[in-house]
Amino acid sequence: MERFIDSYLLEWKDRKKHKPLVIRGARQVGKTYTVEMFARKAFPDLIKINFEEEDLSDFFKTNRITETVQNLEIHLGQRIIPGKTLLFLDEIQACPDAIVSLRYFHEKMPELHIIAAGSLLDHTLNEMTGPMPVGRVEFAYMQPMNFHEFLVALGEKELYDFLQNYTLDKGIPMPLHKKLLRLVRLYYFIGGMPEAVSAYVENNGLPEVERIHESIIRTLEYDFGKYGTRQQQEVLIKLLRYIPRGLGKKFKYVRVDNTLRAERIKHALKLLKMSRIVYPVHNTRANGIPLEQGRDERSFKPIFLDTGLANHLLRLRLTNIDDLVTINEGGLAEQFVGQQLYSDFPFYLDPEVFYWVREKRNAEAEIDYLIETQNRIVPVEVKAGKTGTLKSLHVFMAEKQLATALRFNTDLPSLARVSTSVKTGGWVRNVDFDLISLPLYLVLEGRRLVEDVEKNRP
C-alpha cells in the first residue's frame, strides 16, 4: 500500500549530504513494511537487521565503523556498498550500542544510507546513559494511515485527487458528498492501521478487521511487560481502556480509577505517550505564535493512536456500521479530526496539537483544536452533525481578535462572514470574522483552504 512518507524517504536518499534516518512511531503503523518497499524501489541491495530477532550488539560496541561493517559482511555473507546498499536497523531500541554507533557512521562513512526504526524507541532514548548521536542523525515520524492514504488504499484515487484540487468556489455534487461521508464513517471503525486497512481491501469485509484490531491491542498490551512491573502493567491496561471513553474530554485522573493515586496514572500516561499510543492535546492560552509558549501541562485531553483501535476497545462490533450510532459521536468526530491533524505535519517534525479552554463559572468556553498556518492562529471547531452552537467560537474570536475560523461538520462546504456581539470579560465586544465550514472529509485540506481565503481577502 502506498504511504505518503515514501516521497520524503526518496528526497532523503537523493540529498548530497544525508544523515542516518531514525523513523519513530507506534508499533504496527507500518515502519518496517514501508522501509522494505522503499528499499526495493530505490536501492540495488537491502541489508536488514532486526535486533529483536538476532543479537548482534557485539558488532556495535566499537566506534571503528569499518570494523563493524566488515563483521556484518562476514556474518551476513553480503557486501555493504555505500550508494548501493540500504542498511536497515530495525527494532534498534533493543540495541542501544547501535543507536550510539549512528554517530560514528555519520562521521566516518557518511555516504552509506542507514535507516533505523523502533516501536519503543522513545523509552530507550529516555533511559540511555551513553553518548547520544545528537546532530548526527535526523528523525522522521510515522502515524497510522490518514484519510487520504485510506482513500488511495481503497482504490479511490480519483476522490483523493478531487479533494486535493477542491476550492471553495466549486460545488460538491450531493452523490460525491454522501459517498465521502460514508467513507469517513468507514474510516471511523476501520481506522488507519495498515494491517487492518489491508485486511478490509483484500476481504472486502469487516470481520477480519475486528480480528486484526484485537491482535494489535494484545500486542500493545504485551509490550507493557517490557517497561513496567506487574502492578504498573495493570494500571497501563486500565488507562488504555479508559482513553477511548474519554475522547473529547479534559483528562482527569480520578476518572480512570478513583482508587489509584494520581502519580501512578500520571506515570502510566507518560509511558503510553512514549509508546505513541496516546497523544495529549494540551490547553494553550493562545495569545500568539507559537502556541507552545502558552501551553498548560496540567490541562489536556487525549487523542488515541487510531480511531479504529479506539472503537474496538469500546467493544463496538463491526456489523452494520452505516446504521451504527454511538453515544459518543462527538468524541469520535474529535478523534477523527485530531488524528488527521497529527498526520498533517511535515515528516521531520514531531507533531503536537493544542486546544483552548476557559474554565470560569458561568463563562466556560472551549475550542476543540487550534492550528497554525502562515504564522497565524486558526481555531478549529468539530461537530458530529450539520449544526451546533458556536458560542465558544464567538467568545474566542472576540477575545483574540482573529480573522478566520474553521469548522468541520457533515454539511456541504461554505464560507460565511460572521458579525455579532459577545459579552466577555465584563465587556460587550463586536466580532467579525470569516467562518470556513468544511465537511469532515476535507480536514487535510483545511490549512490550504484557510490560506486561500486569507490570500484572497480584500
**3-class SS of residue 410:** coil
Instruction: Round to the nearest angstrom and report the end-to-end CA distance of the chain.
Output: 43
Residue pair 321/189 in contact by the 8 Å Cβ criterion: yes
DSSP 114-172: EEEEETTHHHHHHH--S---TTT-EEEE--S--HHHHHHHTT-HHHHHHHHT--TTS--
What average pLDDT does range 387-404 have in this prediction? 90
Residue linked to cell 460572521: 418
DSSP 403: S
User: What pLDDT does residue 284 have?
Assistant: 97
Strand partners, 24: 118, 141
User: What pLDDT does residue 324 have?
Assistant: 45
Q: What is the pLDDT of residues 89-103, one digit of tens each?
A: 999 999 999 999 999
Residue pair 410/128 in contact by the 8 Å Cβ criterion: no
Grade residue 216 by pLDDT with cuts at 50, 70 and 90.
very high
Least confident range of 58-67, 261-270, 317-326, 442-451: 317-326
Predicted TM-score (pTM) of this structure: 0.94
Residue 18: pLDDT above 60?
yes
What average pLDDT does range 39-51 have in this prediction? 97
Residue 378: pLDDT above 60?
yes
Q: What is the pLDDT of residues 101-144, one digit of tens each?
A: 999 999 999 999 999 999 889 998 888 776 677 789 999 999 99
What average pLDDT does range 7-21 have in this prediction? 96
In sequence order, the 6+-apart residues with CB closer than 8 A to the CB of 89 are 49, 51, 95, 98, 114, 115, 116, 117
Residue with the larger pLDDT of the pair 15 and 363: 15
User: What pLDDT does residue 317 have?
Assistant: 59
Task: For each of the domains in the chain, give its residue range(s) and CATH number, in order of start.
Answer: 5-141 (3.40.50.300), 151-455 (no CATH)
pLDDT above 70 as % of the chain: 96
User: What pLDDT does residue 321 have?
Assistant: 46
Residue pair 422/429 in contact by the 8 Å Cβ criterion: yes
Element (H, E) at 250: none
Residue linked to cell 478566520: 404
Q: How far apart are CA 97 and CA 57, in angstroms?
A: 7
Q: What is the pLDDT of residues 309-350, one digit of tens each?
A: 999 998 875 555 455 445 567 888 999 999 999 999 999 999
User: What pLDDT does residue 316 have?
Assistant: 72
User: What pLDDT does residue 133 have?
Assistant: 78
